[in-house]
Structure 1
Amino acid sequence: MLLAIDAGNTNVVFALLSQGEIRARWRIATDPRRTADEYAVWLNQLLMLEGYAIADVDAVIIATVVPRALHNLQVLAEKYFGVQPLVAGHAPVEGGIELDVEQPSSVGADRIVNAIAAHHLYAGDLIVIDFGTATTFDVIDYTGAYKGGIIAPGINLSLDALVTAAAKLPKIAISPPENRSVIGRTTEAQMHIGVFWGYVAMMEGLVARIRAEIGRPTKVISTGGLAVLFDENSDIFDAIAPDLTIQGLALLHERSLKA
């Protein structure tokens, strides 16, 4: 079985796959100081709860945007699973995708993996919106080439900055306002409107600008933890793909076997 690891700025997602199908997935807070031994104890317990064992894993692939986390994840694969892990963006799993940007080396591994999976799953020109610590907009043309995109502060990051910088503003949850009105009558309601509908307006506005610049019909694919929440309150999304990064890692692993 394949263990796919997606190490982001906020969380590390572990997914167990067999024949390209996700059998189990787990999430832990990203901490570059977490050792391979700590990962192994945690994973061993979760594998057993799902009816699996460490011995069932015979391949590991990693994508990370946190360089300091990579070493301990590689040690985890080598010491406890007995395999040399593949690392997205490093030979021999570079992916074969054209990075049609000015600084190809600066494109995050997660964005490359998302682009590979999106092009495999959906035809035509694509915009992939990934809701993470940052919200990224990635443009993939109909040939599968990565053309660039946008990086915006994630909604949680935006809310944290607002509450931290304004001493009298309370903490609020990320959720849709109680009604569709955009005139708040309490401080909390005004914050909900500003954060939530402001974020929806930002997304819709940027997608409209990207589509106008591309000049062809373009599908919008969303992924990440808040994808479903925004899908319920906007009509810009053509598909929700919560496991897009994991699917991309599975594709990279499959391609590496054929190389």
Structure 2
Amino acid sequence: MILAIDIGNTQIAAGLFNQQHLCAHWRLSSTLDRTEDETWIMMKSIAQANGYDITGTTGVAISSVVPDIRHTFEKMSVKYLHCDSITVDSTLDLGIDIRYDNPAAVGADRLCNAVGGFFKYGGPLIIVDFGTATTFDVVSVKGEYLGGIIAPGIEMSSMILHQKAAKLPRVYLSFPNKIIGKTTESSIQSGLMYGAVEMVEGFTKRIKEELGQATTNIATGGLARLVLNELRTEYILDSFLTLEGLRIIYNRVKNRESHGK
């Protein structure tokens, strides 16, 4: 089995794969001061609660935007699973051609989304990931990663409004009944949620115009399902796209190693 770990700024998503099947998945908070021993106990316990024993894991694939936490998982893999992990970056055989000015600057999670999206759906492709940041990634019909867009995430925007404006409260992230808010709370909800909808609609339209062709559109990330319900443009919900991309990359790398390439 393969353990796929996506380390984000606020949460860590983990998935256990048996060949191509995602058997179990869970989330942890992205805590910097957790040791590899504490991390192992949490990972093992949560897997057991899902009915799986990860002690027999044969490989670990890591995507990370937080280097310190990545190091913790790398040490955990060696100490408790007795296997080296594969950490995703632009130097690996990803199966896509990265057409970014500086390929090393592309976040590992974005690379995983691009790989997972292209190998599952083909191109041209727009992938929107609703995470700490809301990212848009574009893949061509030839499997070229063309770049994308990085915008503040919905939760980040909510937090900054509350922190920087003394009279604005934190609000529950949901769509109000009407776009014209009658209270401060509903006005903020409208700005955050309908603002996200219009951003996706607008960016999708502009990306298609720049490409000059129709696209398959994929959405992933924690708030994707909520936003998709209000979109007029068709998007496919793929909640585990990043983990799927990790699995695909891991298998590609190991296949090359086994053939001595």
Q: TM-score normalised by the shorter chain: which range applies?
A: over 0.9
Say if 2:214 is the partner of 1:221: no
For residue 29 of structure 1, what is the amino acid of its counterpart?
A: S
Within 5 Å, give how 1:128-143 maps onto structure 2.
Answer: 128-143=127-142
Distance 1:169 1:72 in 2: 37
Distance 1:214 1:105 in 2: 24
Provide the identity percentage: 39
Within 5 Å, give how 1:137-156 maps onto structure 2.
Answer: 137-156=136-155
Note the C-alpha offset of 1:219: 1.6
Note the C-alpha offset of 1:89: 1.5
Of 236, 241, 250, which residue of structure 2 is paired with 1:239?
Answer: 236
Distance 1:158 1:213 in 2: 27
- Tell me the C-alpha RMSD between the 2 structures: 1.3
Contact preservation (8 Å) 2:126, 2:215: yes
Aligned length, in residue pairs = 256
SS of 2:97's partner is: coil
Say if 2:62 is the partner of 1:62: yes
Distance 1:216 1:168 in 2: 45
**Counterpart position of 1:162:** 161
**Counterpart position of 2:192:** 195
Note the C-alpha offset of 1:237: 3.4
Contact preservation (8 Å) 1:124, 1:218: yes
Distance 1:20 1:185 in 2: 49
Contact preservation (8 Å) 1:222, 1:237: no
Contact preservation (8 Å) 2:196, 2:227: no
Note the C-alpha offset of 1:140: 0.4
Higher alpha-carbon deviation: 117-126 or 143-152: 117-126
**Counterpart position of 1:38:** 38
For residue 174 of structure 2, what is the amino acid of its counterpart?
A: S
For residue 133 of structure 1, what is the amino acid of its counterpart?
A: T
Note the C-alpha offset of 1:193: 1.3
Say if 2:103 is the partner of 1:97: no
Q: Output one character per residue of 1:56-98: Cα deviation in whole Å (capped at 9) or x when no partner.
A: 211111111111211111001000001011111176x441321
For residue 40 of structure 2, what is the amino acid of its counterpart?
A: A
For residue 140 of structure 2, what is the amino acid of its counterpart?
A: D
Contact preservation (8 Å) 2:36, 2:75: yes
SS of 2:172's partner is: coil
Contact preservation (8 Å) 1:54, 1:80: no
Q: 1:90 to 1:204 in 2, by over 3 A?
A: closer
Q: Which runs of 4+ in 1 moved over 4 A?
A: none
Say if 2:106 is the partner of 1:107: yes
Q: 1:9 to 1:94 in 2, by over 3 A?
A: farther
Say if 2:249 is the partner of 1:252: yes
Higher alpha-carbon deviation: 141-150 or 45-54: 45-54
Contact preservation (8 Å) 1:221, 1:240: yes
Structure 2: tracts of 5 or more residues without a match: 257-261
Q: Output one character per residue of 1:127-173: Cα deviation in whole Å (capped at 9) or x when no partner.
A: 10001000000010001110010000000101111111111122211
For residue 246 of structure 1, what is the amino acid of its counterpart?
A: L
Q: 1:50 to 1:199 in 2, by over 3 A?
A: closer
